[in-house]
């Protein structure tokens, strides 16, 4: 991360021009789904804006200091951890909750599916407003909602109806950071280091599935009646995140603060005077500058509406990338849900040993994310050196690396299924579980980096769509995977899941071939 912050403060003018130009080029895609929009924004308008932007003196992509960027990343990494840990800390306690709430297995498992369904839809709302109105305010509100839900889950008497309602509220509050965090990365990190930056941010979401079973195992070791402390611990974790956001996180949305340079600030007292004081201190901000120069450099995206998502979904880049990621998440969650069951039934491991076993794929998640980001940025720099006459790097070339991750995940999934089916040694199961996790996070990191590059003005919204697809796929996978393994057998079930990754390969190849040159991307 030190390398990322050092390099990012000395960005070249070429990168700044490319990011501004890419933002304007993408306006064709983002603002032309209707006849009215076509009349409003024509190709001549785009060319005029390009020429006017080029006349504005360029400045650093972001002027946040090295220390400020480290603090920002620390905050969003920690907050990114809270969403996945809220979902995964609950799963090891399902047998105890079934008895505490006096319901059957299907009913208690449905609380997981409901959480995942809401967790997939809610980011669409968070991201839509964060791309337009600011990041910090929505971070604050979402964490407050999550704290309230966790307190009630820990304190309210056992009632299955209340559990469903509160888990829905918990999912709404804890779902915001994934999309908004990716948007924050785009706000402060230029294209040259975007892959590494996304990989560092993903440390938080990837640590959630690793640490959640361990935390749950340590709490439940003290007795099945201690399940309320699962939500008590989440309250403490989330409260720490809220304090970090309020005290340490500045506003980063570029259409509000630009590149963070204080020269843009006209009069901070006017902002306080024109805004509700409570909203202001919770993080709500108006643009720091209303000058034409500022608006040219940092234009605002379209106002939040459902048409925004309809427009984005019509873009094959967003849709294909999201479907590809969804398939990978379905494979991984199918593995994750059955992992503990198979270890207990076929290898007779204790609850604590099963929780510790999740460290194996967990470490692979972290390794896949970090290595993918660094290699992606290295490949981008090497390609630009080999093509000095090309003005910009075609973002689709980052997806070439994704094919490598898809093949690894496919092999890991098939190998995991047959190693369980044939009762192979436990170390073999661990190896294939690592491959499955490594491939999934490698592909996920490549997709997020690609989406933030191709849709810079609506980075959070595109990542929210990506999260929607993958969380829906994860929810469906968690519901049907047990029945599929019973009907088909573990080996053939995971063989089918693994081969489904080939669908993603076809989609990725289409994007690479279709948008293989910058000129095609601009058209």
What is the distance between the alpha carbons of residues 128 and 302, in angstroms, rounded to a whole number? 10
Does pTM top 0.85 for this prediction?
no
CB contact at 8 A, 142 and 293: no
Task: List b or e across 464-495, with b for residues whose CB sees 16 or more CB atoms inside 10 angstroms.
Answer: bbbbbbbbbbbbbbbbebbebbeeeebbbbbb
CB contact at 8 A, 439 and 328: yes
Token digits for 12? 């070249």
What is the distance between the alpha carbons of residues 87 and 451, in angstroms, rounded to a whole number? 25
Task: List b or e across 101-138, with b for residues whose CB sees 16 or more CB atoms inside 10 angstroms.
Answer: bebeeeebbbbbebbbbbbbbbbbbbbbbbbbbbbbbb
| Short-list 468, 465, 457, CA closest to 131 | 457
Contacts of 476 (CB under 8 A, 6+ apart): 330
CB-count burial class (<10 Å; 0-12, 13-18, 19+) for 144: middle
Q: What is the pLDDT of residue 273?
A: 54
| Short-list 270, 265, 312, 253, CA closest to 289 | 265
CB contact at 8 A, 286 and 429: no
DSSP states along 19-55: HHHHHHHTHHHHT-SSHHHHHHS-HHHHHHHHHHHHT
DSSP states along 275-339: S-HHHHHTT----S---HHHHHHSPPPPPS-HHHHHHHHTSHHHHHHHHHHHHHHHHHHHHHHHH
What is the distance between the alpha carbons of residues 189 and 452, in angstroms, rounded to a whole number? 11
Structural domains of the chain sorted by starting position, each given as residue range(s) with its CATH number in brackets: 63-302 (1.20.1250.20), 305-522 (1.20.1250.20)
Three-class SS state of 267: coil
| Short-list 351, 333, 368, 362, CA closest to 443 | 368
What is the distance between the alpha carbons of residues 135 and 138, in angstroms, rounded to a whole number? 6
CB contact at 8 A, 5 and 66: yes
Q: What is the pLDDT of residue 419?
A: 94
CB contact at 8 A, 504 and 219: no
CB atoms within 10 A of CB 292: 10
DSSP state of 11: -
CB contact at 8 A, 65 and 9: yes
CB contact at 8 A, 87 and 115: yes
Please list the pLDDT of the chain residue by residue as tens digits (523 residues). 544 555 544 444 444 443 444 433 433 333 334 434 433 333 333 333 333 333 334 457 888 888 999 999 999 999 999 988 998 888 778 888 888 898 887 788 788 878 888 888 888 888 778 777 788 888 999 999 999 999 999 998 889 999 999 999 999 999 888 778 888 888 888 888 888 888 889 888 888 877 887 888 888 887 777 889 999 999 999 999 999 999 999 888 888 888 887 777 765 555 555 556 666 666 666 777 777 888 778 877 777 677 778 888 888 888 998 898 899 888 988 888 788 788 888 888 877 788 788 888 888 988 888 888 888 888 888 888 888 887 778 888 888 888 888 999 999 999 999 999 998 999 999 999 999 999 988 888 888 888 888 877 777 788 888 888 888 888 788 778 888 888 899 999 999 999 988 888 888 888 888 876 544 444 4
Q: What is the pLDDT of residue 365?
A: 87
| Short-list 88, 86, 202, CA closest to 145 | 86
CB atoms within 10 A of CB 389: 4
């Amino acid at each position: 991360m030190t390398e990322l912050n050092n390099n990012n403060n000395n960005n070249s003018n070429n990168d700044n021009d490319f990011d501004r130009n890419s933002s304007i080029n993408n306006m064709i895609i983002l603002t032309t789904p209707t006849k009215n929009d076509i009349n409003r924004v024509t190709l001549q308008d785009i060319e005029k804006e390009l020429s006017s932007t080029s006349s504005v003196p360029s400045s650093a992509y972001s002027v946040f200091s090295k220390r400020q960027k480290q603090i920002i990343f620390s905050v969003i990494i920690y907050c990114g951890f809270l969403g996945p840990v809220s979902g995964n800390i609950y799963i090891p306690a399902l047998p105890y909750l079934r008895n505490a709430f006096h319901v059957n297995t299907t009913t208690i498992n449905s609380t997981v599916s409901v959480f995942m369904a809401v967790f997939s839809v809610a980011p669409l709302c968070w991201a839509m407003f964060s791309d337009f109105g600011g990041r910090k305010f929505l971070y604050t509100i979402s964490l407050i909602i999550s704290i309230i839900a966790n307190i009630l889950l820990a304190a309210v008497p056992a009632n299955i109806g209340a559990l469903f309602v509160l888990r829905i509220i918990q999912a709404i509050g804890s779902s915001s950071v994934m999309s908004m965090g990716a948007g924050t990365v785009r706000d402060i990190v230029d294209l040259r280091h975007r892959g590494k930056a996304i990989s560092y941010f993903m440390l938080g979401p990837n640590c959630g599935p690793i640490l959640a079973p361990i935390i749950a195992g340590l709490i439940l070791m003290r007795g099945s009646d201690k399940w309320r402390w699962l939500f008590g611990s989440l309250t403490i974790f989330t409260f720490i995140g809220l304090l970090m956001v309020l005290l340490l996180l500045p506003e980063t949305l570029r259409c509000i603060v630009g590149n963070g340079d204080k020269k843009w600030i006209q009069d901070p007292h006017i902002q306080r005077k024109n805004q509700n004081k409570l909203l202001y201190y919770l993080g709500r901000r108006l643009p720091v500058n209303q000058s034409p120069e500022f608006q040219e450099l940092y234009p605002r995206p379209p106002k939040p509406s459902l048409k925004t998502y309809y427009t984005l979904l019509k873009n094959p880049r967003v849709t294909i990338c999201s479907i590809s990621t969804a398939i990978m998440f379905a494979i991984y969650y199918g593995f994750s849900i059955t992992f503990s069951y198979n270890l207990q039934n076929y290898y007779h491991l204790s609850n604590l040993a099963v929780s510790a076993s999740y460290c194996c794929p967990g470490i692979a998640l972290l390794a896949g994310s970090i290595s993918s980001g660094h290699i992606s940025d290295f490949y981008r720099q090497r390609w630009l050196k080999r093509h000095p006459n090309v003005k910009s790097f075609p973002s689709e070339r980052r997806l070439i690396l994704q094919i490598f991750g898809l093949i690894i995940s496919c092999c890991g999934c098939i190998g995991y299924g047959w190693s369980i089916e044939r009762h192979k040694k436990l170390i073999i199961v661990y190896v294939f579980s690592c491959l499955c996790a490594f491939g999934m996070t490698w592909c996920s990191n490549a997709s997020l980096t690609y989406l933030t590059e191709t849709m810079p003005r609506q980075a959070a919204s595109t990542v929210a769509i990506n999260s929607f697809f993958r969380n829906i796929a994860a929810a469906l996978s968690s519901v049907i995977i047990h029945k599929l393994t019973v009907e088909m057998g573990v080996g053939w079930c995971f063989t089918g899941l693994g081969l489904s990754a080939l669908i993603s390969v076809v989609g990725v190849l289409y994007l690479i071939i279709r948008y293989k040159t910058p000129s095609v991307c601009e058209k």
